[in-house]
Amino acid sequence: MAEFSFELNDDQKGVRDWIHGFAADVMRPAAAEWDEREETPWPIIQEAAKIGLYSLDFYAQQFFDPTGLGIPMAMEELFWGDAGIALSIVGTGLAAVGVLANGTDEQIGTWIPQMYGDADDVKVAAFCSSEPDAGSDVAAMRTRAVYDQAKDEWVLNGTKTWATNGGIANVHVVVAVVDPELGSKGHASFIIPPNTPGLSQGQKFKKHGIRASHTAEVVLEDVRVPGHCLLGGKEKLDERLARARERSAKGGERVKNAAMATFEASRPAVGAQAVGVARAAYEVALDYATTREQFGRPIIDNQGVAFQLADMRTRIDAARLLVYRASWMAANNKPFTSAEGSMSKLFAGETAKKVTAQAIQILGGNGFTREYPVERMHRDAAIFTIFEGTSEIQRLVIARTLSGVHVR
């Protein structure tokens, strides 16, 4: 087990500086253009693939870092560059985590490489869980997967929404209901291979922020996939469902569903993304405050500005420490007994919204224009209190974990 430390080692610092250089030199100059275009920045993703930043090997190295700090460090630097482009680069990771959390070794080895492709033929993947009537309320999910025993195939029908890379992905990971009577306990995850008939892209959303990231509905109409596309395999699923039925009949302990396993594993990483956006806005505001003069002196000479910057930096550092703690715990198989993963995502997401709003205030009228990046950063920050569990859901998870009471 790695000792808990807030300090990055020399190897981690080298990786951090390498990512920072890519974020500063490649992502930031292109950020405003792709935000306006609201299109997937394929050329930027390809540049990331050419240097090995967008690859299975890179994320595997960070994922298996025994300190747990590899992934949050990488996420913070990429999202410091630009949130929309960064999400286009890391969005595949959520689908990969879905396979890692629920799949067999064979499934991991087969499907994750196909999610990324290579530098000459870049691919992306999508994790599809939310539905028009089932976002935070996963028990309301309607997408169904029915097993055709004669053909050893699963047949999926339903509509997914808010899917990053949905419809343009090479591989889709879809969460579906296999036993409606068990509610959220009757869910399972499925791989939808490339070019599978019946899967199509629905509405593409025009968004407030993270506009360079593709978000769309995914429609499944009699989509048939082989039995081996059920993540974890049917034997494991049958055992899990049997336990869930038994515990449900006894009113026993809760059984985690496939979507929740993915979200719990990824929440600290999302918190790190929010830290990156907050840090970027803080740095712009600090630079502006030290160079912008009013009444013959820099505006940072005013307590009203200086104290805001002090609070911004304090919240950013506190958020990062919460993210690092949760990431270290996850890497060292320490359970989130106080919902530490949700704590990190909650506080970091709220910090990103607050800090980017304060940055606009410090820049005044300039901050409200697209001539300065804090306007875009503020729009991007709004997503961090919404996706992968709203702030309200995070508080619910934390409250239930601390109290043992099923708070509603």
pLDDT in tens, 277-319: 999 999 999 999 999 988 889 999 999 999 999 999 999 999 9
0.85 exceeded by pTM: yes
Which residues belong to the active site?
388
Rounded to whole angstroms, the Cα distance separating 132 from 159 reads 8
Closest by alpha carbon to 167, among 214, 233, 207, 102?
Answer: 214
What is the rounded CA–CA span in Å between residue 23 and residue 272?
A: 15
> Does 246 have pLDDT greater than 90?
no
Beta-bridge mates of residue 215: 164
Residue 169 identity: A
Supply the CATH classification number for the domain 258-403.
1.20.140.10
Distance CA 345, CA 322 (A): 9
Contacts of residues 236-240 at CB distance under 8 Å and 24 or more positions apart, as own/partner, are 237/178, 237/188
Helix or strand run (H / E) with residue 149: none
Sign of the torsion angle spanned by Cα atoms 265, 266, 267, 268: positive
Q: Which of 138-152, 165-179, 198-212, 372-386 has the lowest mean pLDDT?
A: 138-152
Kindly state the average pLDDT of the residues 25-36: 98
Task: Decide: 56 and 108 in contact? Cβ < 8 Å.
Answer: no
Report the alpha-carbon distance of residue 34 to residue 273 in Å, rounded: 19
Residue 183: its pLDDT value, please?
84
> Would you say 383 and 210 are in contact if contact means Cβ atoms under 8 Å apart?
yes
Domain 10-122: give its CATH architecture.
Orthogonal Bundle (1.10)
Domain residue ranges in the chain: 10-122, 125-250, 258-403
Lowest-pLDDT range of 89-98, 116-125, 264-273, 279-288: 264-273
Q: What residues pair up with 121 in beta bridges, in sequence order? A: 118
Q: Do domains 10-122 and 125-250 have the same CATH topology?
A: no
Assess contact for 206 and 151: CB atoms under 8 A.
no
Mean pLDDT (whole number) for 327-335: 90
- What does the mean pLDDT of the chain come to? 92
Minimum mean pLDDT range among 1-15, 186-200, 242-256, 321-335 = 242-256
Is the pLDDT confidence value at 259 over 60?
A: no
Q: Is the pLDDT of residue 255 over 50?
A: no
Q: For 108-150, what is each residue's pLDDT tens digit?
A: 999 999 999 999 999 999 999 999 987 666 778 999 999 999 9
CA 391 to chain centre: 14
Tell me the one-letter amino acid at 157: N
Looking at residue 140, its amino acid is A
Instruction: Give dist(CA 164, CA 176) in Å, integer.
Output: 17
Q: How confident is the model at residue 2 (pLDDT cuts 50, 70, 90)?
A: low
CB 251 within 8 A of CB 184: no
pLDDT score, position 64: 87
**% of the chain beyond a pLDDT of 70:** 94
Polymer length of the chain: 408
Q: Is 45 within 8 Å of 116 (Cβ atoms)?
A: no
What local confidence, expressed as pLDDT, does residue 30 receive? Answer: 97
CATH for the 125-250 domain, from 1.20.1250.20, 2.40.110.10, 3.10.129.10, 3.20.20.140: 2.40.110.10
- CA 262-27-120 angle, to 5 degrees, is 75
Burial of 150 (0-12, 13-18, 19+ CB in 10 A): exposed
- Min mean pLDDT across 73-82, 165-174, 203-212, 384-393 is at 384-393
Q: Which of 137-141, 209-213, 232-236, 326-330 has the lowest mean pLDDT?
A: 137-141
**What CA–CA distance (Å, rounded) separates 80 from 203?**
29
pLDDT at 405: 86
